Structure 1
Amino acid sequence: MNIYKQIEAEIQSASNIVITAHKSADGDSIGSSLGLLYFIEKLGKKATICHPDKAPDFLYWLDTSSIILMEESPKAVTSLFEEADLIFCLDYNATNRVGPEMQVLLEEATCKKIMIDHHLNPEDFPEIIVSEPTVSSTSELIVELIEQSGHLNLLDEKIGTPLYLGILTDTGSFRFNSVKPRTHEVLAKLLNSGVEHHLIHEKLSDNNTESRLRLQGFAMSEKLEILYDYNVAIISLSKEELAKYNYKKGDTDSLANLVLSIKGIKAAIVFTERDGIMKISFRSKGAENPVNMLAKENFNGGGHANASGGMSDLSVTETLEKLKEVIPNYFSKA
């Protein structure tokens, strides 16, 4: 029995299924969660999505009413975890990625857990693990689950739309080197299922607010610093600067990729002051310019070779100074 058939058998035998994803939801965690939920429902079973916190506003053109948030309804989420006989862990590889409150529930849950993820170095807390770091996204793996379990006939527009979104966002609109021939084969299956890809691009891209664009303009014109010796660009934004432009969750998500589009830049780092810490986004181009070890070894983070995250409990100025100090250790001189 292949692992996807095994997962389907677990779905069929479960009565109370909970689907989880990482804190600070992105397009892939939302997309894979909803795609899996709709697939499970097509199998005639019921499931509930429990996420740690709210997704960015620009993803709310999707119907996210089925997602219960730990930050808003902790009692309901706690009850669902206690009743669960199967928990899916999507798009994360360690229990601490779901935030401290949900981490306790996840680690105390005695039911079977299934990880479906594409990040490096997964922890071994689940009983069943699908870990494919070379695959573009967890959403792509959900399509594999649907097909390899023998249910491609169930794939329709409702299931496929969030999965297309997940692949789209986690590949930087198909520009990252995680996109393989198989990725395009999967995309073709989604289009054949009725997914209207042009509408997804429009809904994702054409929903900027004035304050978001003004914040991005300020960041690019006033806060961009380029280390020309290494062709690395950095943007730092304090809590006061974010507040000035009425910051909403997700407003700075595209900044690193925007900076990376500057001719000659091989890595972009954007960090923002939120919740008392600096949240850092690392992006880079090419296998010769990985950023995951920079994030892991210096900023309590990690992720993919060209797309990672981290954090710092230093001040804005101190974090910027630390970045400038360690960057020469990870990038060769131009």
Structure 2
Amino acid sequence: MNIYEQIAAEIRSASQIVITSHKSPDGDSIGSSLGLLRFIEKLGSSAVVCHPDAAPDSLEWVGLDPILLMSDQPGQVTKAFEQADLIFCLDYNGTDRIGPDMQTLLEAATCKKVMIDHHLHPQDFATLMMSDTSSSSTAQLITELVIESGHEALLDAHIGAPLYLGILTDTGSFRFPAVQPRTHELVAILLAAGVQHHLIHEALNDNNTESRLRLQGYAMSEKLEILEDYHVAIISLTKEELAKYNYQKGDTDSLANLALSIKGMKVAIMLAEREGMVKMSFRSKGEENPVNTLAADHFNGGGHANAAGGMSKESVKETVDKIKEVIPDYFSK
């Protein structure tokens, strides 16, 4: 019995399943959670999705109603954990990634836990681990789970749409090096199952608000710094600037990639002052320009070689100054 068949067997034998994912949800955490939920339901079992906090409004179209939030519904989430006999840990490699409140619930739970993830350096906290750092996304691994456990016939557009969303967003629309031939093979299977990819692209890309576009325009015209010698672009936004443009969750998500698209840029770093800290996104091109080590060494973060996150408790200016100070240690002229 392969790992996929083992996981499917655990699903069939469980009566109370909880699906979890990391804080600050993105397309992959949402897509893999909902794709797995719908697969579990197709198998005839029941599950509940519990996330630490809300997804961006731009993902509402995929169907967020089944997701319980620790930030908004702590009693329901706590009850779900206490009753669970199987917990899925999707798209995170350590229990601290789900926030302190849910981390306490997860670590206190004595039931079986299944990790499905593609990030480096996974912690050994799960009963079953499907950790594949070569995979493009957790959604790709959930797609593999459906197929390799012998349930491809269950795939339909309802299961496949969130899985396509997860693969699409975590590969940067199939541009990142983690995209493999197998990624496209699985996408072809999803399309054959009825996923309407053009509608997903439209929902993601043609859903801007006026304030989001004005914020992005301000960021690019007024807050973009170029370190020419090191081919690094930096965008920084204070909480006051975010408030001026009526910032909503997700409004700055594309800025790092937009800065990286500038001709000659090898690295882009986006900083935004939110929730009492400076949150950071790192993006880069090529194997010779990894950003996860920079994020881990100096900004309490990590991730993939070309896409990582981090945070700073210093001011925006102090954080930018620190970036400029350490950049020469990581990127050549």
Calculate the TM-score normalised by the size of structure 1. 0.99
Partner of 1:32: 32
* Equivalent in the alignment of 2:119: 119
Task: Give the letter aligned to residue 229 of structure 1.
Answer: D
Structure 2 residue 109 is the aligned partner of structure 1 residue 105? no
- Identify the residue that residue 43 of structure 2 maps to in structure 1: 43
Q: Distance in 2 between matches of 1:327 and 1:86?
A: 44
**SS of residue in 1 equivalent to 2:235:** strand
2:312 paired residue number: 312
The alignment status of 1:269 with 2:269, answered yes or no, reads yes
Which whole-Å CA distance do the structure 2 matches of 1:197 and 1:274 have between them? 33
Q: Distance in 2 between matches of 1:250 and 1:205?
A: 12
The offset of 1:63, in angstroms, is 1.0
- Any idea what SS the aligned residue of 2:229 has? coil
- Distance in 2, Cα, partners of 1:25 & 1:177: 22
- Match of 2:67? 67
Post-superposition CA distance 1:124-180 (Å, at most 9, x none): 000100111111000000010001100000000000000000000000000000101
Q: Deviations over 1:4-53 (max 9, x none)?
A: 00001100110000000000000000000000000000000000000000
Q: 2: CA distance between counterparts of 1:325 and 1:25?
A: 31
Matched, 1:240 2:240: yes
Cα offset for 1:275?
A: 1.1
One-letter amino acid of the counterpart of residue 110, structure 1 = T
Give me the whole-angstrom Cα distance separating, in 1, the residues matched to 2:194 and 2:316.
47
- Deviating 4+ runs (over 6 angstroms): none
Measure, in 2, the Cα distance between the counterparts of 1:327 and 1:130.
35
Which amino acid is the alignment partner of residue 137 of structure 2?
A: S
Q: State how far apart, in whole Å, the 2-side matches of 1:232 and 1:62 are.
A: 35
CA–CA distance in 2 between the matches of 1:41 and 1:222?
Answer: 49
Residues 96-126 of structure 1, C-alpha deviation per residue, up to 9 Å, x if partnerless?
0001110100111110000000000000000
Alpha-carbon RMSD = 0.4
Runs (5+) with no aligned partner, structure 1 = none
What is the count of residue pairs matched by the alignment? Answer: 333
* DSSP-derived class of the 1:115 partner: strand
Distance in 2 separating the partners of 1:271 and 1:128: 36
Query: What's the secondary structure of 1:249's corresponding residue?
Result: coil
Match of 1:20 in 2: 20
- 1:244 CA displacement: 0.2
Equivalent AA in structure 2 for residue 167 of structure 1: I
TM-score (ref. length: structure 2): 1.00
Q: Secondary structure at the match of 1:258?
A: helix
Q: Distance in 2 between matches of 1:204 and 1:229?
A: 35
Are 1:169 and 2:169 counterparts? Answer: yes
Distance in 2 (alpha carbons) for counterparts of 1:69 and 1:320 = 33
Q: SS of the residue aligned with 1:310? A: strand
Partner of 1:94 in structure 2?
A: 94
Q: Which residue of 1 aligns with 2:146?
A: 146
Matches of 2:95 and 2:242, distance apart in 1: 30
Partner in structure 2 of residue 130 of structure 1: 130
Q: Match of 2:210? A: 210
Deviation string for 1:280-310 (max 9, x for gaps)?
0000001111000000000000000000000
Distance (Å, rounded) in 2 between the aligned partners of 1:320 and 1:38: 43
Identity level (%): 71
Give the Cα separation in 2 of the matches to 1:283 and 1:134: 18
Structure 2: gaps (5+ residues): none
Whole-angstrom distance in 1 between the partners of 2:326 and 2:228: 15
The separation in 1 between residues aligned to 2:255 and 2:317, in whole angstroms, is: 19
Structure 1 residue 62, shift from structure 2 partner: 1.2
Post-superposition Cα deviations, 1:236-277, rounded to whole Å, max 9, x if no partner, equal 100000000000000000000011100000000001001111
| Aligned residue in 2 for 1:259 | 259
2-side partners of 1:238 and 1:58: how far apart? 22
Q: Which amino acid aligns with 2:285?
A: K
The corresponding residue for 1:278 is: 278
Measure the CA separation in 2 of the matches of 1:134 and 1:279: 26
Question: Does the alignment pair 1:225 with 2:257?
Answer: no
- 1:165-221 deviations in whole A, cap 9, x for unaligned? 000000000000010100000000000000000000001100000000000000000
